[in-house]
């Protein structure tokens, strides 16, 4: 019964400077101040990282885990373009923008996390590369992905905005758009290939750690499990974003699209779980799962989260249950985050007596950056046409806000709100 999402419409009826927005920006500002402290005093002063646990939450959470949530552009894109789920095209912009913001904030945090960032310029010198290193693959692929395909995919809303806000720049915007249209398939190709490469390389990073990763997680198939997890995390996260936007900004929900997404997510999780257990069984590690120990508890927590997520999403997709879809997506996102985070920290034991817990400053910097990400998303969603909506809403927006700018000669007739479409 819900109207199909046909256009992307900015959140035009809510002002940008709301109290939550200001609060988020304040947290972000605090984080920026703390970043200066980290630069001046060193990593040890600002974080709880030590020689035993050399990677803290900035790497293990924001890069290893959170970019899984930021794989919406990747997984939804593949579903839309390679597998022909055309209805998902309407959420592509949301997916792309959330991916872009998560990747951008993650990469900025990575820049803060590395100790000698000035040497990263060697990335431009291929003769210096250690081509077999998974770290190189990640270090090369992630910035490239963010800067090229993800950026180009995120450009069209900006061009539209320019087109509508500044009529004098119309021709430039149109030229850019047509150029983009010409190269889009190749851009999309990169947008699917590069994340597949680096999401799997993120898994490969922990391969080299060998026995330090608990055997319940360590497997030669780690790269595949990571990229697969990224796929369903991307779906889950975009569903959550859409539903949160509905709750907070009162945007419409297209139930058909949500159901489709839930269905796909459920299938992805189910297959992933089967593969995980098969892998454990084939390598003879299942007995570790049935022992009573901290790692097995962690393992079962992940499995339970994902299993319940899969079931909830499966039910939600069959029975028109948005609440269940929301809860299921959250659990899926959480389970995926846990799975990708555990081999780096909780299931990672370099030696007896090693210990790590993030410090307050470390947490604040992380929270600040995430707050900035959310704030940026809210700002951009209000200004640019990102969130999906019906054509009716588009016309309402035009009449409410963009009255003065005429986008298309034929638009003039539709500037007034019509009761029925």
Partner 1 sequence: MVRGGAAFLRLIGHRASGTITVTLKWDRCNWTSRMYRLMHGLGKTRRLAQNEARIKMEEMVIGKRSETIADHIEASGISRRRFLEFCAVLVAMAPSGLALTKKASALEVAQKIGASKRPSVIWLHFQDCTGCTESLLHASRPDIADLIFNVISLDYHETFMAASGYQAEEALRHAVEENNGNFILVVEGSIPTREHGAYMKLAGRPALEVLRDTGSEAALVVAIGSCASWGGIPSADPNPTGALGVDSILANKAVVNLPGCPPNPYNFLSVLLEYSTMHRIPALDEYHRPKFAYDRLIHEDCPRRGHFDAGRFAGVFGDEGHRQGWCLYKLGCKGPVTHAPCSTMHFNETPGVWPIGIGTPCAGCTEKATAFRIPIFQTVDIHSITPPEALPAIDARAGSIGVAAATTVGAIAGAAATAAMIASRRLPDSKRIRAIQKSEDTTKPRNKDIDLEGR
Partner 2 sequence: MEITRRHLLGSMAKGAATVFAAGGVSSVALADESRAKEKQEASQTAIAMLYDATLCVGCQSCVSACAQANNLTPDKRLDTLHQSPRDLSDTTKNVVKLYKPADGTPYSYIKQQCMHCVDPACAAACLFKALKKETGTGIVTWNPGLCVGCRYCQIVCSYHIPKFQWRGVNPRIVKCEFCKERLARGDDPACTSVCPTHAVVFGKRTSLLAEAKLRIAKSPGKYYEERVFGEREGGGTQVLYLTKASFEKLGLPKLGNEPIPAKYLKWQKRMYSYLLIPAALYAVIVSITRKSWNRHEEHLKEEEKATGLRPQL
- Residues numbered 228 to 247 that lie near partner 1 (CB under 8 A) are 243-244, 246-247
308 binds, among partner 2, partner 1, none (CB under 5 to 8 A by kind): none
Out of 6, 7, 13, 55, name the contact with partner 1 by CB under 8 A: 13
Between 23 and 41, name the residue whose CB sits nearer to partner 2: 41
Rounded Cα gap, residues 401 and 406, in angstroms: 12
Stretch that binds partner 2, among 143-151, 210-218, 243-251, 266-274 (CB under 8 A): 210-218
Out of 15, 284, 404, 413, name the contact with partner 2 by CB under 8 A: 413
Residue 128 is a binding residue for partner 2 (CB under 8 A): yes
359 binds, among partner 1, partner 2, none (CB under 5 to 8 A by kind): partner 1
Residue 252 is a binding residue for partner 1 (CB under 8 A): yes
Residue 288 is a binding residue for partner 2 (CB under 8 A): no
Residue 285 is a binding residue for partner 2 (CB under 8 A): no
244 binds, among partner 1, partner 2, none (CB under 5 to 8 A by kind): partner 1
Out of 8, 69, 225, 280, name the contact with partner 2 by CB under 8 A: 8
Residues present in the chain in total: 421
- Subset of residues 325 to 354 that bind partner 2, contact rule: CB under 8 A: 350-351
Residue 114 is a binding residue for partner 2 (CB under 8 A): yes
Residue 249 is a binding residue for partner 1 (CB under 8 A): yes
Minimum distance of partner 1 from residue 410's CB (angstroms): 24
Out of 15, 17, 19, 115, name the contact with partner 2 by CB under 8 A: 115
Other Cβ atoms less than 10 A from the Cβ of 207: the count is 17
- Subset of residues 45 to 74 that bind partner 2, contact rule: CB under 8 A: 45, 49-52, 54-55
Out of 34, 202, 261, 330, name the contact with partner 1 by CB under 8 A: 330
Name the region of 188 (left: φ>0; alpha: ψ -120 to 50; beta: rest): alpha
Residue 289 is a binding residue for partner 1 (CB under 8 A): no
Minimum distance of partner 1 from residue 168's CB (angstroms): 32
Minimum distance of partner 2 from residue 217's CB (angstroms): 14
Rounded Cα gap, residues 403 and 396, in angstroms: 10
CA 335 from centre of chain? 15
Out of 107, 324, 381, 384, name the contact with partner 1 by CB under 8 A: 324
Other Cβ atoms less than 10 A from the Cβ of 118: the count is 7
Contact between 234 and 95 under an 8 Å Cβ cutoff? The reply is yes
Rounded Cα gap, residues 230 and 188, in angstroms: 18
Residue 3 is a binding residue for partner 2 (CB under 8 A): no
Between 104 and 243, name the residue whose CB sits nearer to partner 1: 243
Nearest 5°: phi and psi at 7?
-130, 165
Contact between 203 and 279 under an 8 Å Cβ cutoff? The reply is no
396 binds, among partner 2, partner 1, none (CB under 5 to 8 A by kind): partner 1
Interacting residues of 61 by C-beta distance below 8 A, sequence separation 6+: 337, 341, 366
Between 21 and 394, name the residue whose CB sits nearer to partner 2: 394
- Subset of residues 348 to 407 that bind partner 1, contact rule: CB under 8 A: 351-360, 362-364, 367, 389-390, 393, 396
Residue 15 is a binding residue for partner 1 (CB under 8 A): no
246 binds, among partner 1, partner 2, none (CB under 5 to 8 A by kind): partner 1
Residue 326 is a binding residue for partner 1 (CB under 8 A): yes
Other Cβ atoms less than 10 A from the Cβ of 238: the count is 31
Residue 69 is a binding residue for partner 1 (CB under 8 A): no
Residues that bind partner 1 (CB under 8 A): 1-3, 13, 48, 50, 52, 243-244, 246-247, 249-253, 255, 319-324, 326-327, 330, 351-360, 362-364, 367, 389-390, 393, 396, 420
């Amino acid at each position: 019964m819900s109207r199909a999402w046909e256009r992307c419409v900015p959140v035009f009826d809510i002002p940008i400077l709301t109290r939550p927005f200001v609060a988020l920006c304040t947290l972000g500002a605090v984080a920026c101040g703390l970043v200066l402290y980290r630069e001046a005093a060193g990593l040890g002063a600002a974080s709880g990282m030590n020689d035993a646990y050399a990677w803290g939450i900035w790497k293990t959470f924001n890069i290893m885990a959170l970019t899984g949530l930021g794989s919406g552009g990747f997984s939804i894109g593949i579903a839309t373009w390679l597998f022909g789920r055309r209805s998902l095209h309407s959420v592509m912009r949301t997916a792309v923008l959330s991916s872009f913001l998560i990747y951008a904030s993650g990469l900025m945090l990575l820049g803060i996390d590395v100790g000698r960032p000035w040497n990263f310029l060697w990335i431009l010198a291929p003769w210096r590369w250690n081509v077999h290193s998974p770290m190189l693959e990640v270090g090369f692929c992630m910035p490239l992905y963010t800067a090229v395909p993800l950026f180009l995919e995120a450009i069209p809303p900006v061009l539209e905005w320019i087109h509508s806000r500044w009529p004098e720049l119309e021709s430039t915007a149109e030229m850019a758009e047509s150029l983009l249209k010409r190269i889009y398939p190749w851009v999309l190709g990169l947008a699917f290939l590069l994340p597949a490469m680096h999401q799997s390389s993120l898994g490969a990073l922990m391969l080299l750690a060998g026995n330090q990763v608990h055997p319940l997680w360590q497997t030669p198939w780690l790269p595949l499990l990571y990229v697969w997890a990224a796929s369903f995390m991307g779906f889950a996260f975009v569903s959550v974003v859409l539903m949160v936007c509905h709750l907070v900004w009162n945007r419409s929900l297209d139930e058909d699209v949500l159901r489709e997404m839930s269905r796909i997510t459920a299938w992805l999780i189910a297959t992933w779980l089967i593969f995980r257990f098969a892998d454990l069984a084939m390598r003879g590690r299942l007995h570790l799962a049935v022992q009573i120990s901290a790692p097995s508890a962690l393992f079962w927590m992940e499995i339970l989260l994902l299993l319940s997520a899969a079931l909830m999403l499966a039910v939600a997709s069959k029975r028109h249950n948005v609440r269940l879809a929301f809860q299921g997506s959250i659990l899926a996102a959480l389970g995926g985050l846990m799975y990708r985070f555990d081999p780096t920290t909780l299931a990672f034991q370099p030696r007896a007596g090693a210990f790590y817990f993030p410090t307050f400053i470390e947490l604040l910097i992380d929270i600040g950056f995430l707050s900035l990400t959310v704030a940026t998303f809210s700002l951009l969603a209000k200004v640019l046409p990102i969130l999906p909506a019906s054509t009716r809403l588009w016309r309402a927006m035009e009449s409410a806000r963009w009255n003065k700018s005429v986008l298309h000669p034929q638009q003039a007739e539709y500037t007034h709100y019509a009761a029925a479409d």
